[in-house]
Structure 1
Amino acid sequence: MRLVWMLVFALAGGTALAASPEDDYIAARDKAISEIAALESSNAQVETLDAANTKALADLEKRLSAILGPLSVKDFPATGTINLESLSASDIGFGMLDGLRYARSDEGPSIVATTRGLAGRWLQSRAEEEDESLKLPAGLDEALKLDAFYTQAIGADAAFVKTLDFSLKTPEGADIAVARLGGWTQDVGPIYDQQVVVAVVKGDRVLIAEAPASPPVPKIAACEAVWTAADAAAQKFQETYQGSDLKDQQAYDSANAAWEKGDGDYRACMGERLPGDPAFPAVLAEAQQLADHMAGK
């Protein structure tokens, strides 16, 4: 009898310690990252590195597909491709959110889907970052309110910059619904290609949608004037200070300060005035519809 009970406990212990599909995915991802880093250290040829990266991403995509299952959101495909763009720390697109991206075209709307567990692990790794510019809060609800989350999670070579937050009605059954209007940029100044970004958390799923604002966000004359004045001031600093190295540095610092202030003032102006523009209700409705569809409505 004692032997039987020992066997039962042993089997129970083995079950408790069994790795979950998410554990297996993380282990496979980290192993692939290490292997590619080793290839880079050994000065492997680019073709070898590319082949290893492509093969590993394909394996990880299959694992994520098994974890997430088919997507069921109106107007989006059921199957997706891996959100990660590279497993090499030296490449753009390394370290993005673990999940699948669903889209019918490169230019149209897309959704990145993941689980609470994978999102939580990803955020924890960002919370422990030594580089302060990459740090994010470990809590999902707090992170979803930050531009830096979208920059690191679903962006590759540009930063997401918010124009304004939408006031959404949280769809029935959803735990969290966050929406904002903004754009992707590598510089300061107006971003005319505005995107509606909506994040919905429902049960174990985390869905992040991005779609071009429809109708396109109009230019607002008062806000354009704010940026034009700031840009002129920055260029004047550059023209005024030329000569010694010290003055060149002063010119650089003063011009950048003027551009950065102008960028902030411009976005504040858009955030204040855009809700009164005739185009705004349609853009808000677009955000609400994305949230509703992701929640299953």
Structure 2
Amino acid sequence: MRLVWTLLFALASGTALAASPEGDYIAARDKAISDIAALETSNAEVETLDAANSKALADLEGRLSAILGPLAVEGFPATGKINLESLSPADIGFGMLDGLRYAKSDEGPSIVATTRGLTERWLQSKANEEDESLKLPAGIGEALKLDAFYTQAIGSDAAFVKTLDFALKKPEGADIAIARLGGWTQDVGPIYNQQVVVAVVKGDRVLIAEAPATPPAPKIAACEALWTAADATAQKFQETYQGSDLKDQQAYDSANAAWEKGDADYRACMGERLPGDPIFPALLAEAQTLADHMAGK
């Protein structure tokens, strides 16, 4: 009899889990993705696809709003828009982290909020990616330390590249607090539009904030010189490239290698020298304030 009751309890628990708001959201999202894929296969008109995508995103936004409730972080609106940009794998913005983005403007600070459960589901899907370049660790703490997490979770058409990690004081009550300085790019080389990115995990909530570095990160002459020299070397290799034989391919590869090394050397230089710059305390304070507010201080 005990075995029967144990089995019934397990089945009931599984049913409750599957019928949870998060489970319902995932089911609705996956169905919408499948429905839009079917429309694409049937060569539906672009207007039909756009309408289906917009309707499904609005439904999912409502479900997430019910799960998350209003945001209560100083300086940010209480209501947000869905973080997903598309439900079609063919579109830029597909596969981003399930959550809501809160911002007063497109150019200002923003926060993407979600739950620990939705983050873990999303990371598990990334851990199972066949494309090695898209794989992420399944653990939240480990994933938040990687550029690739922010690229895939909150970016759509550019990659996040770290300049340095801030030494944060973990706010009281927070389980995880990570802050980094970096930027979005589609190429190698200096990124002058630096952003302060802060991730806080507290209880069931995962919050990821992004704000323009204030004051802007400075140009450091020694670091600029490293990139300028690498760029000049790469340009010389590129000048010999004609694209027709092995020698040309070697020149092409050498140019790319010079750019990539210059990019890595530049970022390492910035990470080493920026903490000694007079503006660094202000950047650290910006990151700490964001973390504190996200944790409810």
Which of the five TM-score ranges fits, normalised by the shorter chain?
over 0.9
The DSSP-based 3-state class of the residue aligned with 1:233 is helix
The one-letter code sitting in structure 2 at the alignment partner of 1:189 is G
2:58: which partner in 1?
58
The DSSP-based 3-state class of the residue aligned with 1:173 is coil
The one-letter code sitting in structure 2 at the alignment partner of 1:70 is P
Q: Displacement of 1:14 after TM fit?
A: 4.9
Q: Displacement of 1:247 after TM fit?
A: 2.3
TM-score by length of 2: 0.95
1:271 aligns to 2:271 (yes or no): yes
Gaps of 5+ in 1: 1-5
2:295: which partner in 1?
295
1:129: which partner in 2?
129
Q: Distance in 2 between matches of 1:243 and 1:171?
A: 55
CA separation of 1:23 and 1:221: change in aligned 2, threshold 3 A:
same
Q: Distance in 2 between matches of 1:277 and 1:224?
A: 15
Post-superposition Cα deviations, 1:191-237, rounded to whole Å, max 9, x if no partner, equal 00000000000000000000000000000000000000000000011
CA separation of 1:11 and 1:162: change in aligned 2, threshold 3 A:
closer
Pairs aligned (count): 290
1:257: which partner in 2?
257
Q: Distance in 2 between matches of 1:43 and 1:243?
A: 38
TM-score by length of 1: 0.95
Q: Displacement of 1:246 after TM fit?
A: 1.9
1:70: which partner in 2?
70
The DSSP-based 3-state class of the residue aligned with 1:53 is helix
Q: Distance in 2 between matches of 1:240 and 1:131?
A: 33
2:15: which partner in 1?
17
Q: Displacement of 1:17 after TM fit?
A: 1.3
Percent of pairs identical after alignment? 86
The one-letter code sitting in structure 2 at the alignment partner of 1:259 is W
Q: Distance in 2 between matches of 1:91 and 1:242?
A: 33
1:44: which partner in 2?
44
Alignment of 1:71-110 (within 5 A): 71-110=71-110
Post-superposition Cα deviations, 1:242-292, rounded to whole Å, max 9, x if no partner, equal 474222211210100000000000000000000000111000000000000
The DSSP-based 3-state class of the residue aligned with 1:197 is strand
1:194: which partner in 2?
194
Post-superposition Cα deviations, 1:11-40, rounded to whole Å, max 9, x if no partner, equal 996575131000000000000000000000
1:231: which partner in 2?
231
The DSSP-based 3-state class of the residue aligned with 1:265 is helix
Q: Distance in 1 between matches of 2:8 and 2:257?
A: 65
1:3: which partner in 2?
none
The one-letter code sitting in structure 2 at the alignment partner of 1:166 is F
Q: Displacement of 1:239 after TM fit?
A: 1.8
Q: Distance in 2 between matches of 1:176 and 1:66?
A: 24
Post-superposition Cα deviations, 1:67-115, rounded to whole Å, max 9, x if no partner, equal 0000000000000000000000000000000000000000000000000
1:240: which partner in 2?
240
